Chains A and B, each alone.
Chain A
Amino acid sequence: MKAKSRNYYLIPYILWIALFVITPILLVVYYSFFNIEGEFTFENYQKFFTPVYLKMTFSSFWYAFLITFFTFIIAYPTAYLLTKTKHKQLWLLLIIVPSWINLLLKAYAFIGIFGTYGAANNFLEVMGVGGKQILFTDFSFVFVSVYIFLPFMILPIFNALDKLNPSLVDAAKDLGASGWTTFKRVTFPLTLDGVKAGCQIVFIPALSLFMLTRLIAGNRVITLGTAIEQHFLVTQDWGMGATIAVFLIIAMVIIMLITGKRKGGVM
Chain B
Amino acid sequence: MKQLVRALIIVFVVSFGLLYIVNRLNTAQGYTGDNTLTVYNWGDYIDMDILDQFEEETGIKVIYETFDSNEAMLTKIQQGGTSYDIAVPSEYAIEKMEEEDLLLPIDHVKIPNLQYIDSRFLDLSFDENNKYSIPYFWGTVGILYNPDEVGDISFSEWDDLWDPSLKNDILLVDGAREVIGFSLNSMNYSLNETNKARLVEAKEKLDLLTPNIKAIVGDEIRLLMQNEEAAVAVLWSGIAQDAIWENDKLEYVVPEQGSNLWFDNMVIPKTSKNPEAAHQFINFMLDPEIAAQNADYVGYSTPNREALKHLDEETVNDERFYPDEETTDNLEVYENLGKRMLAFYNDLFLEFKMHRK
Contact = CB atoms under 8 A, between A and B. Distances in A.
Q: Does A touch B (CB under 8 Å) in the complex?
A: yes
Interface of A: 36-37, 52, 55-56, 108, 111, 115-117, 133, 135-136, 214-215, 217-220, 222, 227, 230-237, 240
A233 B71 contact: yes
Given A37-B339, A108-B223, A234-B71, A56 B218 contact: no
A235 B350 CA distance: 11
B351 A115 contact: no
A101 B36 CA distance: 33
B246 interface: no
B214 A237 contact: no
Nearest to A59: B354
Contact of B224 (A111, A227, A232): A111
A219 B176 CA distance: 13
Interface string B13-26: 00000000000000
B190 to A, nearest CB: 21
A11 B211 CA distance: 58
Contacts of B71: 232-234, 236
A136 B217 CA distance: 10
Contacts of B351: 52
* Interface hub of A36, A55, A217, A236 (most chain B Cβ within 10 A): A236
Given A36-B340, A235-B342, A236-B339, A222 B350 contact: yes
Report the interface size class on chain B: 20 to 34
A115 B227 contact: yes
B354 A56 contact: yes
A230 B346 contact: yes
B70 to A, nearest CB: 9
B228 interface: yes
A214 B218 contact: yes
B217 A36 contact: no
A133 B353 contact: no
A233 B176 CA distance: 12
* Interface hub of B340, B346, B350 (most chain A Cβ within 10 A): B350
B215 interface: yes
A214 B217 contact: yes
* Interface hub of B69, B75, B176, B215 (most chain A Cβ within 10 A): B215
Of all A-B residue pairs in the complex, the 9 with the closest CB atoms, nearest first, are A218-B215, A219-B216, A136-B215, A235-B346, A36-B339, A233-B71, A235-B343, A219-B353, A222-B354
Contacts of B339: 36-37, 235-237
Interface in B210-261: 214-218, 220, 223-224, 227-229
B343 A237 contact: yes
Contacts of A116: 228-229
Contact of B214 (A108, A214, A218): A218
Nearest to A133: B168
A36 to B, nearest CB: 5
Contact of B343 (A36, A52, A219, A220): A36
B228 A37 contact: no
Contact of A233 (B72, B342, B350): B72
Contacts of A236: 71, 74-75, 339, 342
B350 A215 contact: no
B174 A52 contact: no
B340 A234 contact: no
A220 B337 CA distance: 28
A215 B346 contact: no
Contacts of B74: 236
B220 A215 contact: yes
A139 B224 CA distance: 19
16 contacts: A36-B339, A36-B343, A108-B220, A108-B223, A111-B220, A115-B224, A133-B168, A135-B215, A218-B215, A219-B174, A234-B176, A235-B342, A236-B75, A236-B342, A237-B339, A240-B343
Contact of A227 (B218, B350, B356): B350
A116 B228 CA distance: 8
Contacts of B229: 115-116, 135
Given A111-B223, A135-B229, A220 B346 contact: no
A243 to B, nearest CB: 13
